[in-house]
């Protein structure tokens, strides 16, 4: 606050002298055009940083950062800043991204099969975010060639979606609904529209690090964790799925976006309703 006051005072003095004051803004970067299949390429020396910039308009965008010589996780560190140059999200793994104010969690359990040159470091950006700055850091001891692409993604946010469950009789005894938490702070909500005493099961794919939780009828004190089954449902029950702490999101789900075939599926969850 003191620094801002001094800047304003200096600006006033310069204005009195008929001098133009230029307030410093965000550091610009190499421009990235959304849905340009070639993207933008740059070579980063060991330990070096490089900035890129793009504009997110009325549809959400996924930013993908490819490391052409990639051999392991954490070789790149990607941090996203908003139009005011405030940190928004960061990632140095290929399975999720986090709010920039939260330390990245260890992913020691991620298997080697999840590491490949074709898999990018990714982050989803919500619609109408405006100007965005992407900072890429080469964390290796050698030079790195990186390619940054920005692609339009479908935004599938569920708000009060009805879950009917299986019919009261017949061979179909269960029904499964799928979703994905792909944006920071996303909360999907559902309303159970079937008969009383049906059973709910909640699951996420093995190895998914989004850490989703299900809230039944607003009971935030006892969230339902993935792998839980046999939860009794009553007609009109309210169901909410969110990321624990809202700080983490996935970036790719073919169940949500049929175009999402160029990375690790991450952020998915399923709700299964079974006839009791």
Residue 176 lies in a domain: yes
Last residue of a domain, one of 122, 152, 182: 152
Last residue of a domain, one of 131, 152, 173: 152
What is the extent of the structural domain holding 96? 26-152
Residue 43 lies in a domain: yes
- Please give the pLDDT value at position 73: 73
Please check the confidence at residue 130 and state whether its pLDDT lies above 60. yes
Last residue of a domain, one of 152, 170, 194: 152
Tell me, yes or no, whether 167 and 257 share the same domain: yes
Q: How far apart are the C-alpha atoms of 182 and 192, rounded to whole Å?
A: 23
Higher pLDDT, 146 or 106: 146
**pLDDT tens digits, one per residue of 9-21:** 555 544 555 555 5
Q: What are phi and psi of 247, to 5 degrees?
A: -95, -5
Residue 11 lies in a domain: no
Tell me, yes or no, whether 135 and 166 share the same domain: no
Residue 219 lies in a domain: yes
Please check the confidence at residue 8 and state whether its pLDDT lies above 90. no
Please check the confidence at residue 75 and state whether its pLDDT lies above 70. yes
- Please give the pLDDT value at position 260: 73
Tell me, yes or no, whether 146 and 169 share the same domain: no
**pLDDT tens digits, one per residue of 20-71:** 555 578 899 999 999 999 999 999 999 999 999 999 999 999 999 998 876 6
Once rounded to an integer, what is the mean pLDDT over residues 205-222?
Answer: 87
Residue 2 lies in a domain: no
Residue 205 lies in a domain: yes
* pTM for the model: 0.82
**pLDDT tens digits, one per residue of 229-257:** 999 999 999 999 999 877 889 888 877 77
Contact 178, 205 (CB under 8 A): no
- Provide the CB-side half-sphere exposure for 2 (13 A, CA): 0
Of all residues in the chain, what percent carry a pLDDT higher than 90?
Answer: 57
Tell me the pLDDT band of 82, cut-offs 50, 70 and 90: very high
What one-character DSSP code corresponds to residue 224? B
- Provide the CB-side half-sphere exposure for 166 (13 A, CA): 18
Once rounded to an integer, what is the mean pLDDT over residues 213-232?
Answer: 94
Residue 270 lies in a domain: yes
Residue 187 lies in a domain: yes
The number of domains in the chain is 2
Tell me, yes or no, whether 198 and 112 share the same domain: no
Provide the mean pLDDT of the chain: 85
- Please give the pLDDT value at position 2: 44
Q: Name 16's Cβ contacts closer than 8 Å, sequence gap at least 6.
A: none
The CATH number of residue 64's host domain is 2.60.120.380
Neighbours of 7 (CB within 10 A): 13
The CATH number of residue 245's host domain is 2.60.120
């Amino acid at each position: 606050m003191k620094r801002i006051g001094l800047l304003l005072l200096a600006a006033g003095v310069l204005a009195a002298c008929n001098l133009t004051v230029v307030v410093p803004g965000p550091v610009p970067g190499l421009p990235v055009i959304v849905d340009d299949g070639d993207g933008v390429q740059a070579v980063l020396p060991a330990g070096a940083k490089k900035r890129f910039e793009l504009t997110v308009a009325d549809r959400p965008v996924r930013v993908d950062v490819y490391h052409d010589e990639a051999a392991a996780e954490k070789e790149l560190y990607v941090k996203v800043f908003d139009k005011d140059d405030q940190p928004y999200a960061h990632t140095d793994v290929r399975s999720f991204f986090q709010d920039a104010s939260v330390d990245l969690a260890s992913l020691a359990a991620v298997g080697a099969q999840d590491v490949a040159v074709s898999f990018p470091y990714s982050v989803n950006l919500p619609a109408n975010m405006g100007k965005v700055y992407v900072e890429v850091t080469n964390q290796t001891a050698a030079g790195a060639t990186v390619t940054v692409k920005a692609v339009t993604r479908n935004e599938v946010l569920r708000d009060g979606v009805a879950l009917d469950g299986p019919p009261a009789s017949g061979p179909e005894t269960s029904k499964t609904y799928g979703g994905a938490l792909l944006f920071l702070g996303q909360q999907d909500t559902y309303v159970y529209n079937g008969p009383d005493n049906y059973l709910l099961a909640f699951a996420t794919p093995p190895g998914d690090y989004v850490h989703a939780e299900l809230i039944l009828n607003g009971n935030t004190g006892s969230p339902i964790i993935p792998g839980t089954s046999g939860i009794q449902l009553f007609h009109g029950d309210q169901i909410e799925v969110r990321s624990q702490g809202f700080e983490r999101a996935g970036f790719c789900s073919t169940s949500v976006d049929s175009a999402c075939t160029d990375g690790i599926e991450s952020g998915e969850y399923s709700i299964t309703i079974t006839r009791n």
